Amino acid sequence: MADRTPSIPQDRAAVWAQDLTRTFGEFTAVDHITFSVARGEVFGFLGANGAGKTTAIKMLTGLLVPTSGEARTAGHDVATEPEEVKRRIGYMSQRFALYDDLTVKENIRFYGGVYGLSDRQIADRMAAMLQRLGFERMAGERVGRLPLGWKQKLAFSVALLHEPEVVFLDEPTGGVDPVTRRQFWEMIYAAAHGGTTVFVTTHYMDEAEYCDRVSIMVAGKIAALGTPSELKAQFGADSMDGVFVQLARPAEEAKVQKAAEENKRPEPS
């Protein structure tokens, strides 16, 4: 395991992990994962529920200390310099993270302030952002009154307000209609084009096709890693859905079998 190294060297990678591991007691949530993400890349981080995605993201964003292994995000060690990491990344989750009772402007000002932007910077970037989104007339509106799709777009833009080197998107398009999802991905491409690395998890396999490269986690390990076309060729599938099913199914079946055995045991037969 230890002889494997990430394909992109440490000093040129936006996200870099080697043998990154996290255990909770007996349970190994993330098991020696090694990978790297290039700057400006759109990196899809896939896996079934419980495969260890969330734990991995928590470590990469400096929220959770790794049990062993090493990871660097935006050039800083996640275990020893979490504060440096946090200042250089953006984050948006499926449950969009704006305050419903604050206006669009107040939300923007709050996040700008949290990331240490000056009032001048906040004013300039807010004006540009509202114009880009076509939200100028909504600036004084409370976020709670906006439709879900608008909120998602706004939340993504707010996550980019401090111009982070890497933005982590945790199922950003959950519950959004197809048209908005499309627009959302256009925004992701625009961000990547501007040099921001996008680290995205998703449940939609068609979205996986939009990523530059994709990793698929199964039971705490990275089971596959490559561009969508490489993975499709490798697994002889004609869609990412096919790839995912092939990888995830054995794990699911193992889980079902194990559960069945455990259920049998206490019976007195």
Partner 1 sequence: MIAFRMSAFRSFVVKETRHILRDRQTLAVLLLMPVAMVLLFGFAIRTDVEDVRVVIVDPSRDARSTDLTRALASTHALRLIAVYSGLQPVEPTLRTGEANVALLLPTDFARRFERGTAEVLVMSDGANANYAATGEAYVRTVVQQWAAENGGGAPVVRVATRMRFNPTLASQNLFVPGLLAFVLTLVSALMTAISIAKEKDTGTMEVLLVSPLRPIQIVVGKVAPYLVLAFVNALTALGLAFVVFGVPVRGSLALLLAAALVYVLVSLALGVLISSRAPNQRTAMMGALLGLMLPTLALSGFIFPIASMPGWLQPVTNIVPATWFILIARGVMLKGVGLAVLWKQCLVLCAMAAILLAAGARSFNDRIE
Burial 65-90 (b: 16+ CB within 10 A, else e): ebeebbbbbbbbbbbebbebbbbbbb
CB of 106 to partner 1, least distance (A): 6
Residue from 19, 70, 77, 106 binding partner 1 (CB under 8 A):
106
Least distance between partner 1 and beta carbon 170 (Å): 8
Q: Which is nearer to partner 1, 100 or 252 (CB)?
A: 100
Q: How far is the CB of 37 from partner 1 (least distance, A)?
A: 17
DSSP three-state, residue 246: helix
Which of 8, 102, 123, 245 touches partner 1 by CB under 8 A?
102
Q: Which amino acid is at 70?
A: E
Interface pick for partner 1 out of 4, 80, 100, 127 (rule CB under 8 A): 100
Query: At closest approach, how far in Å is the CB of 63 from partner 1?
Result: 6
Under 8 Å between Cβ of 184 and 176: yes
- Output 65 or 259, the one with its CB closest to partner 1: 65
Per the CB < 8 A criterion, the answer to whether 17 and 7 are in contact is no
Binds partner 1 by CB under 8 A, chosen from 25, 116, 266, 268: 116
x/- mask, partner 1, residues 173-192, rule CB under 8 A, reads: --------------------
- 64 near partner 1 (CB under 8 A): yes
Please report the DSSP string for 139-204 in residue order. Answer: TTSBGGGS-HHHHHHHHHHHHTTT--SEEEEESTTTT--HHHHHHHHHHHHHHHHTT-EEEEE-S-
Please say whether the dihedral angle defined by the alpha carbons of residues 57, 162, 98 and 131, taken in this order, is positive or negative: negative
Q: Which residue among 35, 168, 199, 210 contacts partner 1 (CB under 8 A)? A: 168
Query: To 10 degrees, what angle do helices 148-159 and 104-114 make?
Result: 30
Specify whether the backbone of 160 is left (phi greater than 0), alpha (psi in -120 to 50) or beta: alpha
With contacts defined by CB under 8 A, how many residues of the chain interact with partner 1?
Answer: 30
Part in contact with partner 1 (CB under 8 A); list of ranges 39-47, 86-94, 212-220, 244-252: 86-94
Under the binding rule (CB under 8 A), the answer on residue 245 touching partner 1 is no
Angle at 193 between CA 204 and CA 197, to 5 degrees: 65
Q: Where do contacts with partner 1 occur on this chain (CB under 8 A)? A: 61-64, 83, 86-87, 89, 91-102, 106, 109-116, 168
